[in-house]
Amino acid sequence: MATEAAGIDHPLLVDDFLQRRRYQLQLADAARNAHTLVCLPTGLGKTTVSLLVTAERLHAAGGKALFLAPTKPLVQQHADFYREALTIPDEEIVVFTGDVKPDDRAALWADARIVIATPQVVENDLVGNRISLRDVTHLTFDECHRATGEYAYVYIAERYHADAADPLVTGMSASPGGDTEEIETVCANLGLYNVEVMTEGDADVSEYTHDTDVRWIEVELPAEVLAIRDALNEVIADRLETLKSLGVTNSTNPDLSQRDLNKMRGTLRKMMDADNSDGYKGMSVHAEVMKLRRAVELVETQSVKSVRRYFERQRNAARSSGASKASQRMIADPAVRRAMREAESFDGLHPKFSQARILLAETLGINGGERAILFTESRDTAEALVEFLEPSFDVRKFVGQGDKEGSDGMTQKQQQAALDAFRAGEFEVLVSTSVAEEGLDVPEVDLVCFYEPVPTAIRSIQRKGRTGRQASGEVVVLMAKDTRDEAFFWISRRREKRMESELSDLKAATDEIESRVTDDGQAGLDAFASEADGTSEGVAESGSGATDAVADDSEDPALTDFAAEVRNGSEDGEDAEATGNDDSDADGDGDDIGDGDDGDDIGDGDDGDDTGDGGDGIVATAGVDEGVEIVIDQRELDSSIAKDLSKRDGLFTRLETLAVGDYVLSDRVAVERKSAADFVDSMLDSDRSLFEQVGELSRAYARPIVIVEGENLYGQRDIDPNAIRGALSALAVDFGVSVLRTEGEADTTALLATIARREQETRDRTVSLHGEKTTKTRAEQQEYVVSSIADIGPITARALLEHLGSVEAVMTAEREELLQVDGVGAVTADRIREVVASPYE
């Protein structure tokens, strides 16, 4: 058991708030010298390591620090911890989430010393040029294993290395990935080339860990539930027979693996790319199989009530306008209808419900426990469990922020209030969807119960971290016999065993990983740095490991003092746990149990709700204020185009909620972008048709453009190609719109940049937003009116108004008066007089 020891002495740390832990000081001392991946088991204070590095960087290098965490509740928790632990005034430690308006964030950023944010918000603000990373001297990526693919961490890291004058990056994770290749990918994406790992086997760490018992309990499904499952499996087998006839599978077994289904989908996509009509038919059938498998999963592993709600959503979807054939076909199938009737008539409970109640009674009643957490993958199940357990226990739910059909989400304040009440002992059972795994500092509990096995090791490790921090706790996993639960059980067991050795293997492989990442990635970092205005001189290019770093007293005396305390204090006995050592670890990117497209809270995290910032006027911008400007609609952030444009030299991007169009490239050119599928869908959309959108665009801009992006325009949704050709013809002839085709997002990005440069550099035009819903100032309205005369543009309009004084004077001016205005020649003067004086016909 650790004994109390002196606190850490530093100008920016509150006295005696943090207690010395040797391993944290070692990791911080290493991370201050290089871009570092810090791997440490859940619950052992990775956040404290980052805080120590931030304190030293702000003290020694100045500037500001940016801390990124994947969810809003995590962001708030980190902010509370930083405010408690640091002497920096609270108002200089600010929170950035989608709840803070963009123009407010721009102002807050300017005055902050530490910004703690969700990555989507920072990504948006960088794309919109509301903030600059130039003065950020320490950037922390919490749960950095997420830094793959299109996740916002990847873009932010690239921008940071390119823009910051003196960058230092720390990535933190309890479970960085399954193999060295995954870890190398994360390191390369974040620009990390030093790896520091500590495991529970390290002497300095083991004293702060406790045993966590894992127990698996198997339950048997009643015959009524098995009958519902079997009816659905009949339909799946029939649909797989259809796919087999198309040559994309050899099996009709309803229990085929997700990997096999993914392989099928890939084959069908290739068929579609080759304009094979069977590919489109097969993809529709494949979508139906995925929906049916989701229903089977719910009835096997969740509850009959969950599958009833699922069928209700599918029924509503099938009746809606633009419903997919897969939904309509599934709901119409007699076997599915029979399963739906049986689900409606079943009034029993899934046996996991009663088993969960028994476990809680044992833990909280017989054994005298105080708190328990029950995790489930489905919000429907969570709500049903709360209703079932309420007569016996003081229980509350904890779910994500998004509203689902028939279920309201929880706001950030409600989430925080629930955790505070749970921590204070106001209730004893928390029933939670996956969002509570996300590293939130849920207090130590006596029992963590998984309602279903979790096949992804990262998520399972995170959940088990909720118990066992301070004392021995128990983890129980419920499993339905002869169901997908059993498959997940074996997957989970295999991955859990692998995870136990991965950190140890990673620790042994750090030198090899560092060597490869440094060899492959340093050139990329150098390229990023060459684009920045300043160069980094404050970060060493290699890490020598935590122990070697502690021995280096050559620079940064304040953090060297930390290291000195490690050496001097080690003989004083064991270090005490810090009062403020909260750990904040989010899980991985959350594998779904099912296909994930049906809104059943499979991974109920909150990191996706910050994409749209709402409608704002022109907000303050940071960084470059010259060059070619492109205004981008907020809704375009789902594509890679906005990010790619923001990284191009000489381009200045700005985010707005545009009333018309997706991109504004000048005062006269605006672009509506449609994928091939979106183009066809918008032809059929009765609420807001393609022609309505384009009509508004052509009324607002003199040179409207529609970009149709991607292949297979004539192969979408079984629409007659002549109908599509007719739509294209109408756009060009009736609306006067230029219709341009591009191969994909990269091609669209290049085309937008080319048009914008041509308009603004070659034609000397500026960007002006037309058709806004927001009110213009009087001067802007006057410029807009005059600029529309004979398409003279805003620059000439301003010159005319400045010289003649009013819109009326411009309208009544004679040719000779117009010629006296700078920039107005004979041709422009004649065009103005012709438009103003000619009779209307």
Task: Render 149-174 in DSSP notation, one character per residue.
Answer: TT-HHHHHHHHHHHH-SS--EEEEES
Task: Tell me the one-letter amino acid at 210.
Answer: H
Residue with tokens 């409207």: 704
**What is the per-residue pLDDT for 541?**
38
DSSP annotation of 366 reads: I
Contact 216, 477 (CB under 8 A): yes
**What is the per-residue pLDDT for 633?**
92
d(Cα 221, Cα 489) in Å, to the nearest integer?
Answer: 17
Q: Dihedrals φ, ψ of 319, to 5°?
A: -90, -10
Q: Dihedrals φ, ψ of 447, to 5°?
A: -145, 135
625: left (phi over 0), alpha (psi -120 to 50) or beta: alpha
d(Cα 828, Cα 411) in Å, to the nearest integer?
Answer: 57
- Taking the alpha carbons of 801, 802, 803, 806 in that order, is the dihedral positive or negative? positive
DSSP annotation of 195 reads: E
**What is the per-residue pLDDT for 790?**
66
Q: Which residues have C-beta within 8 Å of that of residue 316, sequence separation ≥ 6? A: 405
Tokens of 401: 């922020």
**What is the per-residue pLDDT for 2?**
39
**What is the per-residue pLDDT for 638?**
83
**What is the per-residue pLDDT for 498?**
64
**What is the per-residue pLDDT for 505?**
64
How does 471-505 read in b/e, with b if 16+ C-beta sit within 10 Å? Answer: eebbbbbbbbeebbbeebbeebeebeeebeebbee
**What is the per-residue pLDDT for 596?**
33
Residue with tokens 């339909």: 235
Residue 773, number of CB atoms within 10 A of its CB: 9
**What is the per-residue pLDDT for 177?**
63
DSSP annotation of 86 reads: B
Contact 693, 659 (CB under 8 A): no
Q: Which residues have C-beta within 8 Å of that of residue 51, sequence separation ≥ 6? A: 18, 81, 82, 85, 86
**What is the per-residue pLDDT for 89?**
93
CA 82: distance to chain centroid? 23
* Predicted structure pTM score: 0.60
**What is the per-residue pLDDT for 299?**
87
d(Cα 486, Cα 497) in Å, to the nearest integer?
Answer: 17
Beta-carbon-side half-sphere exposure of residue 662 (alpha carbons within 13 Å): 20
Strands 136-142 and 64-68: parallel
Strands 663-664 and 669-675: antiparallel
- Please list the alpha-helical segments (H only) found in 320-466: 325-332, 334-345, 351-360, 379-389, 412-423, 457-464
**What is the per-residue pLDDT for 827?**
84
- Strand, helix or coil at 628? strand
**Environment class of residue 296 by beta-carbon count within 10 Å: exposed (0-12), middle (13-18) or buried (19+)?**
buried
d(Cα 812, Cα 836) in Å, to the nearest integer?
Answer: 8
Contact 709, 676 (CB under 8 A): yes
Rg, Å, the chain Cα set? 30
The closest alpha carbon to 783, from 757, 801, 758, belongs to 801
Whole-Å CA distances, 812 to 351, 534, 784, 815: 85, 54, 17, 10
| Average confidence (pLDDT) per 10 residues, the chain, 841 residues | 57 86 91 91 84 96 95 86 92 89 87 95 93 96 91 95 95 76 88 86 71 78 88 90 90 84 88 81 90 89 84 81 76 85 84 93 89 86 90 90 66 82 90 62 75 58 47 77 80 64 64 62 46 39 36 42 47 35 34 33 38 40 65 90 91 90 94 90 71 86 93 80 89 90 94 95 87 60 80 78 91 91 86 88 78
